[in-house]
Amino acid sequence: MRFRETAALAACVLLFAIVPPRAQPQAPSPERHVQQQRLWETLQKLGEFGKNPEGGVSRVGFTEEDLAGRAYVIGLMKEAGLDVRTDPAGNIFGHRAGTEALPPILFGSHIDSVPHGGNFDGDVGSLGAVEVIRALNDKNQKTRHPLEVVVWTNEEGGRFYAGLFGSTAAAGLLPADIASRRDDNGQLLADWLKRMGGDASRLPEARIAKGAYAGYLELHIEQGGTLETAEIPIGVVQGIVGISVRTCTAAGFANHAGTTPMNQRKDALAAASRAVLAVREEVRREPGRQVGTVGWMRVEPGAANVIPGRVQFPVELRDLDKERINRIAARILARFEIIAREENVEIVCTPPDLHEPAITSPAFRDAIRGAAASAGLKTTDLPSGAGHDAQNVARFAAMGMIFVPSKGGISHSPLEFTPPDQVANGAEVLYRTIMILDAALDAAARP
Ligand code: GLV
Ligand code: MN
Ligand code: MN
């Protein structure tokens, strides 16, 4: 049985039969396969690359810090016996052979961070994946499927693209202009890709075909407070929000702040400020879990005695329902037109970089629940308000996500924290889920 789209229904029926929902045959066994201390030490070490004085890291994608962190993780993957390659998008894959000619089971995350981010977002899933391989090696445990650890390129985005860069390439969804994009300092994406072992001229070759992998799993911190509040160690992710990001520019007229009367101004910052509030109002206008954020603003020329002539700002919208995102975006853009007229400026927004929402595979959710139950760990189902590479992988493979608690629900902050035992719980559930899927997937291919 393969998780091809055409066979999806049959696959689910069969997998449900093999992996019964909720109830698992094994009695809970507290014995851990993964090593908590070994995993924690690699997390600490990775935290040295881009370390900030206030704690946490700035290891933004396509920077020297990112390159150094990647080199460290590639070293770990090689030490664990993985056959490592980098695709044209800079995604790092480490392959471990299986005993049967089957598509590999893929698992991993990212190691780039937001500016002034923490040591756990992405790192837990990437190093948890490496720890699973080490744990399998410890016992000389073979799997039917080959296993592949992946570290996706530039998950957080900000420079060149709206995030999930590597997995968007794998889904074949990068915009056509991507290779020629420059960051604010004029640096070319193509040059950075080269330094990371990628190749901008071959980006389409990073696309992964449906059926190339048996499935994908990503371990991640929750980045919210649901698990901690409920005192539940493992979250089973139901779905991942869609994310739309536009960059908008308010263009007015820079003029003398002392001599230009108040009724004759074209103040781009006053207009942009009203736009920020309009985003909040339109997002709040309907019930639901949708969110909208204006995360930065660039004001030119930026002097106390000059009326701002030009302001740039992003509009980021998220929800599990793409239609809702589109509906709210349309209302926001209509509000911007009114504000522009009233403020006597122009407001123009780029088309959005859009990451589609994705629902996790019900069969994989069951496998995760079964794995957690076998390790004596409670679970709850929850949605992900953060974006993840898994949502792009959903375009070419069945996928599931495992969450572990985030202290205080804090993330994208140096205060991000998950204690060592909870990180190890997640890696253990990842290990056991892989073993369940390894037995259940492609069962028809057994000799
Ligand atoms: C990724 O961390 C995101 O949700 O922005
Ligand atoms: Mn993040
Ligand atoms: Mn992340």
Residue 184: is its pLDDT beyond 90?
Answer: no
Mutational pocket test of ligand 1: of 113, 320, 355, 388, the residue with most ligand atoms within 8 Å of the beta carbon: 388
Any ligand 1 atom below 6 A from CB of 316: no
Structure confidence at residue 181 as a pLDDT band (50, 70, 90):
confident
Ligand index nearest the alpha carbon of residue 158: 1
- Max distance between CA atoms of the chain, in angstroms, equals 85
Instruction: Say how far apart CA 83 and CA 78 lie, in whole Å.
Output: 7
Do 441 and 105 touch, CB atoms closer than 8 A? yes
pLDDT tens for 51-78 read 999 999 999 999 999 999 999 999 999 9
Any ligand 1 atom below 6 A from CB of 163: yes
Cα 33 to ligand 2 centroid, rounded to whole Å = 28
Ligand index nearest the alpha carbon of residue 242: 1
Q: What number of other Cβ atoms are within 10 A of residue 117's Cβ?
A: 24
Cα 196 to ligand 1 centroid, rounded to whole Å = 22
Structure confidence at residue 162 as a pLDDT band (50, 70, 90):
low
Instruction: Say how far apart CA 294 and CA 307 lie, in whole Å.
Output: 21
Instruction: Say how far apart CA 233 and CA 378 lie, in whole Å.
Output: 6
Mutational pocket test of ligand 1: of 116, 152, 156, the residue with most ligand atoms within 8 Å of the beta carbon: 156
pTM reported for the whole predicted model: 0.85
Residue 316 or 29, more confident:
316
Any ligand 1 atom below 6 A from CB of 438: no
Phi, psi of 118, rounded to the nearest 5 degrees: -110, -175
**Cis status of the peptide bond prior to 25, with omega within 30 of 0:** no
Do 79 and 188 touch, CB atoms closer than 8 A? no
The tokens describing 287, both together, are 């019930």
Instruction: Say how far apart CA 380 and CA 332 lie, in whole Å.
Output: 35
Residue 31: is its pLDDT beyond 70?
Answer: yes
Residue-averaged pLDDT of the chain: 92
For residue 114, the ligand 1 atom closest to its alpha carbon is 2
Cα–Cα separations (whole angstroms), residue 244 to 141, 182, 183, 231, 414: 42, 20, 19, 32, 25
Instruction: Say how far apart CA 129 and CA 150 lie, in whole Å.
Output: 8
Q: Which residue has the tokens 């493992």?
A: 234
Buried b / exposed e over 214-240, threshold 16 CB at 10 Å, is bbbbbbbbbbbebbbeeebbbbbbebb
Return the minimum-mean-pLDDT range out of 3-7, 289-293, 418-422, 427-431.
3-7
Per-residue pLDDT, 394: 97
Any ligand 1 atom below 6 A from CB of 156: yes
Contacts of 318 (CB under 8 A, 6+ apart): 241, 242, 243, 244, 290, 291, 292, 325, 385, 387
Rg, the chain, Cα only:
23
Do 351 and 245 touch, CB atoms closer than 8 A? no
Instruction: Say how far apart CA 70 and CA 62 lie, in whole Å.
Output: 10
Mean pLDDT in residue range 387-398: 96
For residue 164, the ligand 1 atom closest to its alpha carbon is 1
Cα 386 to ligand 1 centroid, rounded to whole Å = 5
Cα 270 to ligand 1 centroid, rounded to whole Å = 29
Residue 10: is its pLDDT beyond 80?
Answer: no
Which runs of E-coded beta strand occur in 57-139? 83-86, 92-96, 105-110
Residue 442 or 7, more confident:
442
Q: SS3 of 131, please?
A: helix
Mutational pocket test of ligand 1: of 113, 116, 243, the residue with most ligand atoms within 8 Å of the beta carbon: 243
Any ligand 1 atom below 6 A from CB of 387: yes
Residue 244: is its pLDDT beyond 60?
Answer: yes
Any ligand 1 atom below 6 A from CB of 291: no
Q: How many CA atoms lie within 13 A of 175 on its CB side?
A: 15
- Encoded amino acid at 213, one letter: Y
Instruction: Say how far apart CA 141 and CA 122 lie, in whole Å.
Output: 26
Instruction: Say how far apart CA 447 and CA 438 lie, in whole Å.
Output: 14
Structure confidence at residue 7 as a pLDDT band (50, 70, 90):
very low
Mutational pocket test of ligand 1: of 59, 316, 412, the residue with most ligand atoms within 8 Å of the beta carbon: 412
Residue 14: is its pLDDT beyond 80?
Answer: no
Any ligand 1 atom below 6 A from CB of 386: yes
Cα 88 to ligand 3 centroid, rounded to whole Å = 21
Instruction: Say how far apart CA 252 and CA 305 lie, in whole Å.
Output: 16
Q: Alpha-carbon dihedral of residues 109, 111, 117, 121, nearest 10 degrees?
A: 20
